[in-house]
């Protein structure tokens, strides 16, 4: 198998892997995947900028912008309240910074947006554990209430 064929096969495998990962993913995991994708695209943009490949830098920044736009449009402003409003403003800021990073070839702006998104992702990654703790605390409270009622 030639290098080109191997590269094409790996690309196809990667696409199948991503597709199957998306099909079985929870909504929480889909958001994680989007954040991971945006972070990866910003890293690729930075690497291409550092190598002087401005066309590839721009392509990866555009891709990151699209992903962040998807994250922003997935916000439920009604249910999310102030948190959703804050994220909406932050995603808007990130998009503006990425546009400026692209226009100015500014690595610092790419790093800033990456760091902001990483902070959001870290909090998002912690959500299942927090929910599990709250669920356990709620179950303990319910058990205590039942035991108290049975004793009384």
Encode pLDDT of 1-17 as tens digits.
444 444 554 455 455 55
Contact criterion met (CB below 8 Å) for 10 and 92 = no
SS3 category, 76: coil
User: Encoding tokens for residue 67?
Assistant: 């992903």
Radius of gyration (C-alpha) of the chain in whole angstroms: 21
pLDDT of residue 141: 57
pLDDT of residue 137: 67
pLDDT of residue 138: 62
Those residues of the chain that have pLDDT short of 70 are 1-23, 131, 136-152
How would you class 107 by CB atoms within 10 Å of its CB: exposed for 0-12, middle for 13-18, buried for 19 or more? middle
What is the pTM for the complete model shown?
0.74
Residue labelled with tokens 């990151």: 64
Long-range pairs for 136-143 at CB < 8 Å and ≥24 separation?
none
User: Encoding tokens for residue 3?
Assistant: 């290098």
Smallest CA-to-CA distance from 31 within 95, 78, 76 is with 76
């Amino acid at each position: 198998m030639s290098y080109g064929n191997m590269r094409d096969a790996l690309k196809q495998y990667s696409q199948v892997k991503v597709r199957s990962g998306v099909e079985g993913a929870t909504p929480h995991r889909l958001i994680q995947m989007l954040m991971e994708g945006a972070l990866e695209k910003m890293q690729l943009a930075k690497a291409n900028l550092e190598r002087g490949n401005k066309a590839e830098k721009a392509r990866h920044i555009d891709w990151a912008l699209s992903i962040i736009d998807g994250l922003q449009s997935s916000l439920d402003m009604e249910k999310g309240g102030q948190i959703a409003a804050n994220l909406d403003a932050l995603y808007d800021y990130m998009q503006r910074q990425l546009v400026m990073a692209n226009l100015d070839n500014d690595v610092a702006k790419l790093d800033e947006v990456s760091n902001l998104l990483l902070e959001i992702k870290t909090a998002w990654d912690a959500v299942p554990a927090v929910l599990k703790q709250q669920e356990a605390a709620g179950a303990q409270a319910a058990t205590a209430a039942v035991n108290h009622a049975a004793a009384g």
